[in-house]
Structure 1
Amino acid sequence: MAHLLNVNESIRDQVSRNAIASELSNALDGLFTIEGCRRHEVNDWKYTVLHCKPTRNTADALLLDREVLALIVNASDLQVRTLHVAQDLISNSNGRLDPAFVMVLHADKSGDEKLRNWGRELGYKVIPIHRPKAGALPPAESLRLTLAQDLFTHDPFSLTGPVLADSEFFGRRNSALDILRQTQTGRIISLFGIRKIGKTSLINRVVTLAREAGTPNIAMIDCSVDGFNILSASDALKAIAKVAKMASTRSYAHITEALKRSDKDLVPVFDDLWSTKSPKPLTLIFDEVDYITPASPNRPHWRQDFNIFWREFRVVYQEAQRMGFPISILVSGVSSHAFRVESFDEIENAVLHFVPEGYLTPFARHASKQMIKDLCKRCGLVLSNDDQDRVAETCGDFPYWIRLAGSYIHRSIDIQGRPRSVDSTLISRLLSEFVDAEGGDAARVALEDLRRKTAEPIELLQRAASVPYISLSEGKLLLRYGLATQVPSGVTVTSAMIRAGLAGLSSSVPAIQLPKAASPLAEQLSLPSEEWAEELSVINRRRNLVERKLREFIHFTLKLTAQSGENWVDKVLKSLNERQRTELSSLAGDALLNRLYWKDLGAIIVKHWSNFEKILGDKSRFATAMDLLNDRPDAHAKQIDAADVALYRRELTWLEERLA
Structure 2
Amino acid sequence: MSYELQRLAAETTAAFTGLFTITLEAIRQFENGEYFTMYARGTKRLQSILGAEREILILGNIYADQQARSIRFVRRLINDADGRLETTLCVIVHQDPRGNTKLKRWGRENGLAVIPVYTATGVLPRNQELERLLSYEFFTQDPFDVTGPVANDAQFFGRRAEAQELARKLQSGHIRACFGIRKIGKTSVLHRVLAELKENYDAVVLFIDCQRDDVFGLNAAGLLHSITLSLLELKASGQAYAEVNASTSAPSLAEAARQFQSALSQFDLTVILAFDEIDYITPSNGSAEQWRIGFIEFWRNVRAAYHAAARDERRVSLLVSGVSSRWFSVESIDGIENAALAFIPEEYLSPLPRGAAKAMIKNIGAMAGLRFEEQALEAISSFCSDMPFWIRKACSSIHGKIETAIRPITLQEAAVSEMLEAYGRDEGAALAKVALQHLFRVYPELRAPSLSLLSEREELPSGIKRTLNRYGVVDNAGKVSGSMIRMALTMVAEEATPQDAISVERVEARPLMHEWAEELAGISYRRNTMERALRSLVINFLRMSSLTNKDGVSAKASLLSALPSKRRAELDAYNLETIADKLFWLELIAIINKNWQLFERIFGDKAAFNENASIVNDRPDAHAKHLEPSDVAMHRRALHWLDDRISKV
Q: Secondary structure at the match of 1:504?
A: helix
CA spacing shift, 1:467–1:112, aligned 2, 3 Å: same
Q: Quote the offset at 1:496 in angstroms.
A: 0.1
**Which residue is equivalent to 2:554?**
568
Q: Quick check: 2:208–2:243 contact (8 Å CA) kept in 1? A: yes
Q: Secondary structure at the match of 1:113?
A: coil
Q: Secondary structure at the match of 2:492?
A: coil
Q: Distance in 1 between matches of 2:59 and 2:160?
A: 35
CA spacing shift, 1:593–1:419, aligned 2, 3 Å: closer
Q: Distance in 1 between matches of 2:166 and 2:431?
A: 29
Taking only the aligned residue pairs, the percentage that are identical comes to 29
Q: What TM-score results when the alignment is normalised by the length of structure 1? A: 0.65
Q: Quick check: 1:61–1:380 contact (8 Å CA) kept in 2? A: yes
Amino acid of the residue matched to residue 569 of structure 1?
A: A
Q: Quick check: 1:162–1:198 contact (8 Å CA) kept in 2? A: yes
Q: Quote the offset at 1:38 in angstroms.
A: 8.4
CA spacing shift, 1:153–1:310, aligned 2, 3 Å: same
Amino acid of the residue matched to residue 54 of structure 1?
A: G
Matched, 1:160 2:144: no
CA spacing shift, 1:212–1:20, aligned 2, 3 Å: closer
Matched, 1:462 2:451: yes
CA spacing shift, 1:557–1:116, aligned 2, 3 Å: farther
Q: Distance in 1 between matches of 2:269 and 2:257?
A: 20
Q: Distance in 1 between matches of 2:315 and 2:148?
A: 32
**Which residue is equivalent to 2:156?**
169
CA spacing shift, 1:449–1:170, aligned 2, 3 Å: same
CA spacing shift, 1:553–1:267, aligned 2, 3 Å: farther
**Which residue is equivalent to 1:113?**
97
Question: CA deviation digits over 1:469-496, x for unaligned, max 9?
Answer: 6256151221121210113xxx111300
Question: CA deviation digits over 1:202-239, x for unaligned, max 9?
Answer: 00000000001133321111111111211121222111
Amino acid of the residue matched to residue 406 of structure 1?
A: C
**Which residue is equivalent to 2:216?**
229
**Which residue is equivalent to 1:68?**
57
Q: What TM-score results when the alignment is normalised by the length of structure 2? A: 0.66
Equivalences for 1:46-125 in 2 at 5 Å? 52-54=40-42, 58=47, 61=50, 65-69=54-58, 80=64, 95=81, 101-102=90-91, 104=93, 113-116=97-100, 119=103, 125=114
CA spacing shift, 1:284–1:63, aligned 2, 3 Å: farther
CA spacing shift, 1:176–1:469, aligned 2, 3 Å: farther
Measured on the aligned residues, the alpha-carbon RMSD in Å equals 4.7
Q: Quote the offset at 1:566 in angstroms.
A: 2.1
CA spacing shift, 1:37–1:131, aligned 2, 3 Å: farther
Q: Quote the offset at 1:39 in angstroms.
A: 12
**Which residue is equivalent to 2:169?**
182
**Which residue is equivalent to 1:385?**
374
Q: Distance in 2 between matches of 1:405 and 1:394?
A: 9
Q: Quick check: 2:64–2:96 contact (8 Å CA) kept in 1? A: no
Q: Quick check: 1:440–1:497 contact (8 Å CA) kept in 2? A: yes
**Which residue is equivalent to 1:485?**
475
| Most deviating of 440-449 and 425-434 | 425-434
Question: CA deviation digits over 1:77-116, x for unaligned, max 9?
Answer: x8639999x99998999857779833549xxxxx683552
Q: Quote the offset at 1:468 in angstroms.
A: 5.5
2:331 to 339, 342, 345: 342
2:260 to 270, 277, 298: 270
How many residue pairs get aligned? The number is 503
2:340 to 330, 344, 351: 351
Q: Distance in 2 between matches of 1:304 and 1:312?
A: 13
Q: Quote the offset at 1:132 in angstroms.
A: 8.8
Q: Distance in 2 between matches of 1:494 and 1:299?
A: 34
Q: Secondary structure at the match of 2:242?
A: strand
Q: Quote the offset at 1:454 in angstroms.
A: 1.9
1:428 to 417, 420, 434: 417
Amino acid of the residue matched to residue 215 of structure 1?
A: D
Q: Quote the offset at 1:24 in angstroms.
A: 4.8
CA spacing shift, 1:128–1:179, aligned 2, 3 Å: same
CA spacing shift, 1:557–1:194, aligned 2, 3 Å: farther
Q: Quick check: 1:233–1:306 contact (8 Å CA) kept in 2? A: yes
1:192 to 172, 179, 204: 179
CA spacing shift, 1:327–1:128, aligned 2, 3 Å: same
Equivalences for 1:541-556 in 2 at 5 Å? none
CA spacing shift, 1:563–1:97, aligned 2, 3 Å: farther
Name structure 1 gaps, 5 residues minimum.
1-17, 41-46, 106-110, 510-547, 574-581, 598-660
Q: Quick check: 1:21–1:48 contact (8 Å CA) kept in 2? A: no
Name structure 2 gaps, 5 residues minimum.
1-9, 28-34, 497-534, 582-649
Amino acid of the residue matched to residue 232 of structure 1?
A: N
Q: Secondary structure at the match of 1:442?
A: helix
Amino acid of the residue matched to residue 360 of structure 1?
A: L
Q: Secondary structure at the match of 2:349?
A: coil
